[in-house]
Each structure stands twice: as C-alpha cells, then as structure tokens.
Amino acid sequence: MSSHIPLRGVKVTLCFVVACLLACALPAPALAGSDVPRIGPGPIVRSDDGVYKGIPYAAPPVGELRWRPPQPAVAWTEPREFDEFGPQCPQPDADDATSEDCLTVNIWTPDDRDGAKLPVMVFIHGGAFAGGAGSLPLYDGAKLAEAGVVVVTMNYRLGALGFLAHPALSAESGQGVSGNYGLLDQRAALAFVRDNIAAFGGNPKNITVFGQSAGAASILLHLTSPGSQGLFHRAVLQSPVGPGALRPLRTPERGVVPAEEIGRRVAARLGADTAPDVLSALRAASVEDILAASRPGDEAGLEVAGILCSPTVDGVVVPGRPVDMIREGRHARIPLVLGTVANEGSLFLPGLRPAVTSAADYRRLVEKWFGPDAKKVLALRPGTASAWRADLERVVTVRWFEALARFLSREWARSSSPCFLYRLDRPLPESALSILADEAGDEAGAASPTSAGVPHSADIFPVFGYMPWYLGFDGADRDFSKVMRASWTGFAATGQPAGQGRPVWPRFDPGRPARMEFGPAGGASAGMRDVPDDPLCSLVERAWDTTMY
C-alpha cells in the first residue's frame, strides 16, 4: 500500500488539470497599501491576484543544517516576487520537482478585505509523514479565501529527512533528543505566520490551524506540546490518525521499534555506521540514497501505513503520548472541530501487513491487535465467510481513526473547551475515488463506490472546493462543498461552525453525544444526528495501553 494516500491526496499527472485550475481561479485584488509590503526576511512585490507562492519561512535545511531544528529564513534586501510554488520536500514518487530547500509557505488573500484584520487558516497536509506538499492543486486555497479568510499552506520535512532519530543526533542536540524536525518545521511555519500575516491582511490573534490525516495528527501533537502553545487559537482535525503512528525514542515499548534504533539501521544501510564521523557521513549522503535506505520494511513496528520514520515521543518536542496527556488534562484549551469519514479503513485494507485475504486471516489479525479482548471484538464483528471484509474495514476504521475522534470529543468537553464533532457520509464520484484508490496502491483497481464507501481523504475535496468536472463532480457536489466550507470558515472567524444559512451545530455533549453528519443518507447537505454507541470504540481505547504506542 502506498504510504502517501493521506497527505498527497490526489496525484495529478496531466498538464491540463493544472491549466483548468488556473483558468478557474478567481483573481483577488492586490494588498492595500505599499506596492512593496515588508515581511520579516525582507520586502516583497505586491501580488496582482492576491496569491503568494513559495515564501521561505526558514533557511534551507541542507549541509550542516540537515537534521537540525529550522533556522530563520535567509534575509533579502531587494523586493522579491513570489509567483511560483517552491519545490516539494524530497519524497518517493513526488508529483513535482523536489529539493531539500523546500521550507516555504503559500498564501491566498480574499477579494473583499475592507481594511479589516481577517481570520487566518493554516493547513498542514497529510501523507503519512512521508509525502505531500502544500502546493498540490487539491489544497488550492482560493475557494476558502472567497469567504473572507487568509489561507496558508506549508511544506515541512518528510520521511527520514524530517523524522530520523539517531544516538549521535541526540547527543549533539543539547537536549539529548532527535527525530522531530518535521514537527519543528511546522512550528516554525506557524510562528512565521503569526509574525508576518498582518502584511497580508490577516489577524495574528485569530489563527486556525487545520489538517487532515497525518496533518491532523501533527496538530494533535502541537496541542500537547508546550513549545507550540499560543501559535494558533482554534484547530480542525480531519481524520486524525490514532496512537499507532508514534515511536518511542530509545527503549522498545509495546512491540514498537524505537526511533534511534531505526536511525542506526538507516545509517548502516548508507554505510555511515562505520565512518569515523557518523553524522558527517549521514549529512554527506545523497537524498536519493537516504530515501532508498529508509523505505519501510517488516521491522517498522508501527501499524499505520507502514511508516518507518515518524514523530517520536522524545520527552521534549513530544512530551508524551497524546492520549495520556489529554487524559491528564495537559493540552491546549482551545475550540476544536474534529471528525472522520464514514469508511476510513476501506482503502487501507490491501496494504495491511500481514495481508488479510480470508476470514481466518481476519481472526488472526484481531487476536494480534486486541489480545485478551479479541473474543469480545469477534463477538461484535465475527468476520464470517460472507462478511469478514466489511468487519475488517470497520475494525480498521475504529482502531486507527474513529475511536480517537470520539475520545478527543469526550475529553475536550470534560475540559470545558468547545468541541464540535462531525462525520462525512457523502460518497465521491467514481473518477475521484479512482485517484484515491490509485494512491492507496490498489493496482488491481478493486475499489468501487460499493467497496470503498466514503474513504480516507474524501473530505479534502469539499473542504477545499476541489470539484473539477473531469473527476465527475456536478452542481450538487459544489453546493454541498459550499455548506462544508462555510462551516470551516465560520469556525475560523467566530469559533462557531455555523451561521446564517447553515445548520445549527451545537458543541459536543458527552451526556448526549451527537455529531454533524455532512451528506447523510436522504439527500440533506448536513444535519445533527445522535452518535450511535459502539462498544468497539471502548475496546480500542483499552488496546492503546497494551498493544499500541
């Protein structure tokens, strides 16, 4: 299974796709004021269409800066134009040119500014911490900006370049830790937005961060990291990945290989482990060799998407497991929107390891995942000969995504912080679904609207308004997208994801759990529904403490 489905979203390979996007983009007026606005690193040329692409927020993390925290962007003195996206961060099977010099942000400003300080929405892309870019057409911010918000997307270091830990890297850090460089990049980008967004009409005191899949998991880590506090004021978590995407730093726990051991293995594959200076040898290695040496293998030790290099519970950047910290009340008290799609697990099934191709395989996987609670899980989802695939999809959906969403909603409400829960139930057109299935590694093309349902990443299309006709979207889809986008931008503006012309969306109440269901059966755009009780969620939570990190 491709590890890039969450974060690279749509793999665009035809030039006419980009051309259509550019042709359909509505121009925004230039920023008011000087023709040469100034941001921290230097002056910029005012954009005629209100879009700024490829602005560096940190110095290129190359040479001696590889595997170090991000440093301030290199200053400039002459006005610079920012009308082209920067390169994507190095990753396998990239959609466009890549470079280690990739730490940039992109900014969309709206048509009608009226001189006001506008709400800001900063998006963190997904991609299993191994792929994706803020410049992908799927993440074009123009449609969101039309609602009167400033939209920002970012790149951050990925894979081994973003998350490699190694004892020698920990020793040189001064804090005794290594491995979370991609998270530190995200933090630096958020700080850059806070310090500079006023030059683009944004309000630095009203920043909403939103992300999908690994991007949402990243936000969860920032919500529980003291070093990220105060950089944003609201958050939207779309399909946050469960605890099985994190590693301990040094000591194996719950069967998970620690990050420093992964680093040793990568160094050995590169031949750097026997060098007189291991770090110099690692920093001299080519990007291509690093990508090859860090491809996931059987030793990955994590369930989710075969991730090899991922965020590390290091005690500093990530002080502890988020579920533990949230149980203890050690998290930011800010308003939260979070939710899932109906069939999160459907496109992940072909990539499960070991492979699951029969009812007997399904039962063995349940026994491995749930240990002493396996019999209870099988009583709920027995995996009969005719239903094992559907039961497997439900177990993966709950284990990796839905149980976490319900847990977060409950705990956020207990902390007296506003929380709004949702679920997306609207299927995609078959052409759009086929793109997600291809990204998931469905070489046989087995995914269909019937088998895939509403799969992981389906929410990106309506949230960003990416509704091109050549993917099968029609006018009803675009009208639906407006409802969902209005909830997101309304939340960014006021902290309440509702308003004129939108369904009433009350905050989550653990005493009577309900969620906003977008596109439920029956044809309505959205409506509140009670959350059905599912004992499987409780069994998954129990498993977090015994079989998952």
Read off the pLDDT of residues 319-340 as tens digits, 9 standing for 90 and up. 999 999 999 999 999 999 999 9
CA distances for 187 relative to 103, 136, 194, 218, angstroms: 12, 21, 11, 10
Instruction: Say if residues 308 and 170 touch (Cβ distance below 8 Å).
Output: no
pLDDT value for 124: 98
Tokens of 102: 């990739």
Instruction: Say if residues 59 and 74 touch (Cβ distance below 8 Å).
Output: yes
Of 508, 522, 271, nearest to 405 by C-alpha is 508
At a CB cut-off of 8 Å and minimum separation 6, what does 44 contact?
36, 37, 38, 52, 55, 79, 80, 81, 82, 199
Side-chain-facing half-sphere of 1: CA atoms under 13 Å: 25
pLDDT value for 300: 59
What pairing do the DSSP bridges indicate for beta strands 234-238 and 202-212? Answer: parallel
Question: Buried b vs exposed e over 366-384: b needs ≥16 C-beta within 10 Å?
Answer: beebbeebbeebbeebebe
Backbone dihedral region of 489: left (phi > 0), alpha (psi from -120 to 50 degrees) or beta? alpha
Instruction: Say if residues 363 and 378 touch (Cβ distance below 8 Å).
Output: yes
The C-alpha atoms of residue 346 and residue 344 are separated, in whole angstroms, by 6
CATH superfamily name and code, 5-261+293-544? Alpha/Beta hydrolase fold, catalytic domain (3.40.50.1820)
SS3 339: strand
The whole model's pTM is what?
Answer: 0.92
Please list the residues that pair with 341 across neighbouring strands: 424
pLDDT value for 28: 36
Average pLDDT for residues 62-87, to the nearest whole number?
96
pLDDT value for 12: 39
> Can you say how many angstroms the Cα of residue 341 is from the centroid of all Cα atoms in its chain?
14
pLDDT at 109 over 80: yes
pLDDT at 41 over 60: yes
Percent of the chain topping pLDDT 70: 88
> Can you say how many angstroms the Cα of residue 138 is from the centroid of all Cα atoms in its chain?
13
At a CB cut-off of 8 Å and minimum separation 6, what does 268 contact?
none
| Burial of 179 per CB tally in 10 Å (0-12, 13-18, 19+) | buried
Q: Give the position of tokens 């509505």.
A: 26
Long-range contacts of 68-71 (CB under 8 A, 24+ apart): 68/181, 69/181, 69/184, 69/188, 70/103, 70/181, 70/184, 70/185, 70/188
CA distances for 240 relative to 40, 398, 438, 462, angstroms: 33, 12, 22, 17
Percent of the chain topping pLDDT 90: 75
At a CB cut-off of 8 Å and minimum separation 6, what does 483 contact?
502, 503, 518, 525, 526
Read off the pLDDT of residues 357-405 as tens digits, 9 standing for 90 and up. 999 999 999 999 999 999 999 999 999 999 999 999 999 999 999 999 9
Q: Give the position of tokens 């009409």.
A: 201
Place 440 in a pLDDT band, splitting at 50, 70 and 90: low
pLDDT value for 305: 64
Of 24, 54, 80, 460, nearest to 238 by C-alpha is 460
Amino acid at 51: V
Place 255 in a pLDDT band, splitting at 50, 70 and 90: confident
Top-confidence residue, 14 or 74: 74
Instruction: Say if residues 102 and 87 touch (Cβ distance below 8 Å).
Output: yes
pLDDT at 133 over 90: yes
At a CB cut-off of 8 Å and minimum separation 6, what does 237 contact?
210, 211, 216, 219, 220, 336, 337, 338, 339, 405, 408
Place 104 in a pLDDT band, splitting at 50, 70 and 90: very high
